[in-house]
Structure 1
């Protein structure tokens, strides 16, 4: 793969990833509640979700979703409902005392589902990745490099946000500030779910 093309992909992907979306909102909220114990499962879930979403997009799932209104609608509403459910749970999370650590499997699974089923992310991969593929070179090696690069960048970005939230979690012990954070994060997740539900399908 052309190094200049790869560096352009790294710069574009890093710029896109640093802007918080539903996945990062989930990572922040759960890291505040679960502390550092939930960091690695969350990062692993994000990495797995990015790998699945990007790989399936390159394999043709993105084209299917772009062409099938039914497939797009099902995925959209499943993702939206899950985000709203997570937001409601965070809104109602207990604020007295330290919250119980998030079970590792649940943390990783939630991060995976939110990342892998985000239709906006899949649509982004379909529109974004082909710009960095050289039609004169074999497809599979280029696709493997781009997937590995994006997964690494996505996991690193999630890790940075999770560690930051973990530090804040240790500093915030009073019920008042914790309640504000829970409700702010829950509201953002619910808003992200509603925005996903209202996401329109682009014409094929």
Structure 2
């Protein structure tokens, strides 16, 4: 076996382990996706939360593959493209937050006859997870600056960026699965009318605040 071969294998293993560790740290940082996923899991159930997670991971794959093929570089090259996507993403978050606040207000008016929240179609839950991620241009800028750092020296860039995109989504999925499970475990507490209303108010306010922050922030 050539001496360079074990050395190259060691570099590859080091790169992969470093990437997985960094991806876990990134997944642990709460953001818009965390707020949307946990709200969906608590309000409408664990299964709906898992579907939202799958939508979010699809968004991560989209940004990772876009970085691999150079498409997300357009966000860095074009201020108009970046700002346009930023405004769309902010609008999505504000709309979801306003909807949660409206549902909390409706719940206040109907406390005399409380009802469990209506089930959300899986397509809608998936779409919310996907749009929340894809409509955030910072995810695209992050992907193009983050993924290439871990490509092993001398290795083909494109295949490794694709591999890291899949690993990124897998790590993110592993992080959110126990969170959704825990949210499902405490769901019974949040089904009480007063508690559920407060949850909608808090989650709605958080989503609106995240949307406003995204709207006013620059790259």
- Normalising by structure 2, we get a TM-score of 0.86
Is 1:111 matched up with 2:129?
yes
Q: Find out whether 1:5 has 2:12 as its counterpart.
A: no
| Structure of greater Rg | 2
* Residue correspondence of structure 1 range 3-82 to structure 2 within 5 A: 3-82=13-92
Contact map agreement 2:68 2:161 (CA 8 A) in 1: yes
Q: CA deviation at 1:135?
A: 4.4
Q: Equivalents in 2 of 1:92, 1:56: separation in Å? A: 36
**SS, match of residue 103 in structure 2:** coil
8 A contact 2:90–2:211 mirrored in 1: yes
CA RMSD, 1 decimal:
1.5
Native 8 Å contact 1:33 1:102 kept in 2: no
- 1:149-188 equivalences in 2 (<5 Å): 149-188=167-206
CA 93–161 in structure 1, closer or farther in 2 if over 3 Å, else same: farther
Q: Distance in 2 between matches of 1:160 and 1:179?
A: 25
Residue-by-residue CA offset, 1:89-136 (whole Å, 9 max, x unaligned) = 112225433101111000001100111121111111122112111341
- Count of residue correspondences: 201
Structure 2 unpaired stretches of 5+: 1-10, 108-113
Shift of 1:47: 1.4
SS of 1:28's equivalent in the other structure is helix
Counterparts of 2:59 and 2:33, CA distance in 1: 10
> Normalised by the size of structure 1, how large is the TM-score?
0.92
Deviations 1:25-63 (A, max 9, x none): 000111111112303321210111110011112221221
